[in-house]
Amino acid sequence: MFVRLNAALLVFAALAAISTVRAEPVLDLYRAATPVTGVGEAERLRGFRSGLEEVIIRLTGDASLKGAYRIEPILDFALSFVQTHNYTEGVEDRLKPDDSGMSQPTHTLTVEFDKAKLNSAIEAFGLTIWSSDRPLTAVFLSVKDRSEAYVLTKNNENALYQRGVLNDIALRRGAPIVLPTKETLSAISYETVSTGDTDALTAAAKSMGADAVLFGALEFDGDAYWSVNWTLIWFGHDIQTWEIRGVHYPVAIREAVEKSAKLYSAFATR
């Protein structure tokens, strides 16, 4: 891919250094908020286990660990990693279960896990912890449904649900993102995003102080499902592209964030 390896390596090193300077530490990596159906012991232990799984995924950047047998021995001793916990009444909409058949939660259990103990356990099982200094990703997502077409921004009302899904999964996975403002969109258009104008989107992302740009065109197929083509450009690294078809839009958005996190963490821990 590179014609002159030495020159390419110098460029790569320079860009990587810029990325490192811009990246900011992600806070609360060891904290999880889990919806629970009560404050009894059994439900509390379930909440500890669920929260610990989320934190392990966040620390490693590997969403494939969800439900994986590999981390079961750690989850079985979730209580031993708990540093503090507290309850608050009520549950944020983003934490409520999608399945209406599930018991509806009444409280949010917030848990802080012991950093030193958990790090030791994760490493003992052959997993690598992703640094808290993580790339900031500018996300540009064009959306076309039955009635309208628009670009997801920080505050447009017609993108409320897609933005909620994106912000939630980015928070859960410890993957910092930044969305364009209406002012940013004055320099780019819906077509810029939907057609994947790499130069324009890269320039816009850099103007937003990002280390990478993730862009995609999310389209409704007219029958309850969505398709999207994603491109991730992490400055100084190879371009990644992939397609997701025939899924609900939360899946399309979640997988993009998780795939990006896996790529970042895999490179950072080599």
pTM for this model (two decimals): 0.87
The pLDDT tens digits for 32-49 are 999 999 999 999 999 999
The answer on pLDDT for 166 being more than 80 is yes
More confident residue, 257 or 161: 257
- Portion of the chain with pLDDT greater than 90, in percent: 76
Q: Are residues 147 and 248 in the same domain?
A: yes
Residues 191-212 have pLDDT tens digits of 999 999 999 999 999 999 999 9
Where do we find the tokens 């992939």? 242
Q: Does residue 170 contact residue 257 with C-beta atoms inside 8 Å?
A: yes
Residues 118-161 pLDDT 10s? 999 999 999 999 999 999 999 999 999 989 999 999 988 888 89
Structural domain includes residue 256 = yes
Which among 126, 153, 129 is positioned nearest to 142, based on CA atoms?
Answer: 153
Please indicate, yes or no, whether residues 115 and 202 belong to a single structural domain of this protein.
Answer: no
How many structural domains comprise the chain?
Answer: 2
Confidence check: pLDDT of 6 > 70? no
Note whether 85 and 48 are within 8 A (CB).
yes
Indicate whether 143 and 261 sit together in one domain.
Answer: yes
For residue 60, which amino acid is it? Answer: T
Residues spanned by the domain of 249: 134-268
Max Cα–Cα distance, the chain, nearest Å: 64
Q: Are residues 143 and 101 in the same domain?
A: no
Last residue of a domain, one of 95, 124, 153: 124
Question: Which of residues 72, 101, 124 is at a domain's end?
Answer: 124
For tokens 């992703």, the residue is 130
221 burial via Cβ count (<10 Å: 0-12, 13-18, 19+): exposed
